[in-house]
Structure 1
Amino acid sequence: MSSVIKNGRVYWLVQKQESEALLFAVDEQVVSDVERRLVDLVLSTKKEPEPKPARMPTEEERKAGLVRDWLHQQQERGFTQAEMPDQLVSLLSLYSTKVPILLYGDYTTSRRVHYAELKKLLDSFFDAEITLIPLTEKEWLILGSEKILTMDGSDDRISDEESLEDKLAAMGYGLHEMLENEWVGEAHLAVHYPMTPAKSLYSVVLQLRETIMLGRTYHVGSSMHLPWELQLEKLVHLVPEAEKASFLERVLKRLDVAFDPETMTTLEQFFQLDCNVSETAKKLYIHRNTLLYRLDKFKQETGLDVRTFNNAVLVKIAMLLYKVTKRK
Structure 2
Amino acid sequence: MELEQLRSKLETIFGKKVTAQKDHGEAVRGEAFAAAGATLVVHGELTSSERKLVELLLEDGARPEPKPGGGGTDDERLAAALATWIMERLEQGDHDADLPESFARWPMLAGSKVPLLVYGDYPERLPSSSYADLKKLLKTFFEAEVALIPLHNKMWLILADASLLSEEREGEEESIEEALSALASGLQDMAASEWVGECHVATTYPFSPAGSLVHTVATLRETIELGRNFRLSSNIHLPWELRLETLLDAVPKRAKNRFLEGVLRRAEPSFDPEMLQTLEAFFTENCNVSDTAKRLYIHRNTLLYRLDKFKQETGMDVRDFEHAVLVRLALLLYKVTKRK
- TM-score with structure 2 setting the length: 0.75
Asked whether the equivalents of residues 233 and 320 of structure 1 are also in contact (C-alpha less than 8 Å), the reply is yes
Q: 2:85 matched to which residue of 1?
A: 70
Name which of 286, 304, 328 aligns with 1:274: 286
Q: Distance in 1 between matches of 2:126 and 2:310?
A: 47
Once the two structures are superposed, the pairs formed by residues 205-244 of structure 1 within 5 Å of their partners are 205-244=217-256
Asked whether the equivalents of residues 109 and 209 of structure 2 are also in contact (C-alpha less than 8 Å), the reply is yes
Q: Distance in 1 between matches of 2:223 and 2:319?
A: 29
Name which of 113, 116, 134 aligns with 1:98: 113
Q: Distance in 2 between matches of 1:143 and 1:220?
A: 26
Aligned-pair CA distance for 1:93:
4.3
Q: Distance in 2 between matches of 1:255 and 1:210?
A: 31
Q: Distance in 2 between matches of 1:286 and 1:185?
A: 33
The AA in structure 1 aligned to 2:188 is: H
Name which of 299, 307, 318 aligns with 1:295: 307
The AA in structure 1 aligned to 2:285 is: L
Asked whether the equivalents of residues 258 and 302 of structure 1 are also in contact (C-alpha less than 8 Å), the reply is no
Relative to structure 1, is the Cα distance of residues 187 and 283 closer, same or farther in structure 2, using a 3 angstrom cutoff? same
The AA in structure 2 aligned to 1:220 is: L
Name which of 96, 103, 118 aligns with 1:81: 96
Aligned-pair CA distance for 1:149:
2.1
String of CA shifts for 1:282-327, please: whole Å, max 9, x gaps: 1100011111111111111111111121111100110111111112
Q: 1:4 matched to which residue of 2?
A: none
Aligned-pair CA distance for 1:147:
2.4
Q: Distance in 2 between matches of 1:192 and 1:320?
A: 22
Q: Distance in 2 between matches of 1:96 and 1:200?
A: 13
Q: Secondary structure at the match of 2:171?
A: helix
Q: 2:144 matched to which residue of 1?
A: 128
Q: Secondary structure at the match of 2:221?
A: helix
Aligned-pair CA distance for 1:75:
2.1
Relative to structure 1, is the Cα distance of residues 184 and 202 closer, same or farther in structure 2, using a 3 angstrom cutoff? closer
Aligned-pair CA distance for 1:181:
2.1
Q: 2:38 matched to which residue of 1?
A: none
Aligned-pair CA distance for 1:186:
0.8
The AA in structure 1 aligned to 2:99 is: M
Name which of 215, 223, 229 aligns with 1:203: 215
The percent of aligned pairs where both chains have the same amino acid is 53
Aligned-pair CA distance for 1:76:
3.1
Q: Distance in 1 between matches of 2:229 and 2:94?
A: 24
Q: 1:114 matched to which residue of 2?
A: 130
Q: CA RMSD in A?
A: 1.7
Q: 1:190 matched to which residue of 2?
A: 202
The AA in structure 2 aligned to 1:219 is: R
Q: Secondary structure at the match of 2:172?
A: helix
Relative to structure 1, is the Cα distance of residues 66 and 216 closer, same or farther in structure 2, using a 3 angstrom cutoff? same
Q: 1:247 matched to which residue of 2?
A: 259
Larger radius of gyration: 1
Asked whether the equivalents of residues 201 and 235 of structure 2 are also in contact (C-alpha less than 8 Å), the reply is yes
Relative to structure 1, is the Cα distance of residues 127 and 76 closer, same or farther in structure 2, using a 3 angstrom cutoff? same
Q: Secondary structure at the match of 1:159?
A: coil
String of CA shifts for 1:129-156, please: whole Å, max 9, x gaps: 111111111111000112222445x7xx
Q: Distance in 1 between matches of 2:126 and 2:93?
A: 31
The AA in structure 1 aligned to 2:150 is: P
| Unaligned stretches of 5+ residues in structure 1 | 1-55
Q: Distance in 2 between matches of 1:172 and 1:269?
A: 23
Aligned-pair CA distance for 1:109:
1.6
Aligned-pair CA distance for 1:110:
4.9
Asked whether the equivalents of residues 126 and 151 of structure 1 are also in contact (C-alpha less than 8 Å), the reply is no
Q: Distance in 1 between matches of 2:136 and 2:120?
A: 16
Q: Distance in 2 between matches of 1:180 and 1:95?
A: 29
Asked whether the equivalents of residues 293 and 299 of structure 2 are also in contact (C-alpha less than 8 Å), the reply is yes
Q: Secondary structure at the match of 2:75?
A: helix
Asked whether the equivalents of residues 108 and 147 of structure 2 are also in contact (C-alpha less than 8 Å), the reply is no
- TM-score with structure 1 setting the length: 0.78
Q: 1:11 matched to which residue of 2?
A: none
Q: Distance in 1 between matches of 2:267 and 2:250?
A: 22
Name which of 302, 307, 331 aligns with 1:319: 331
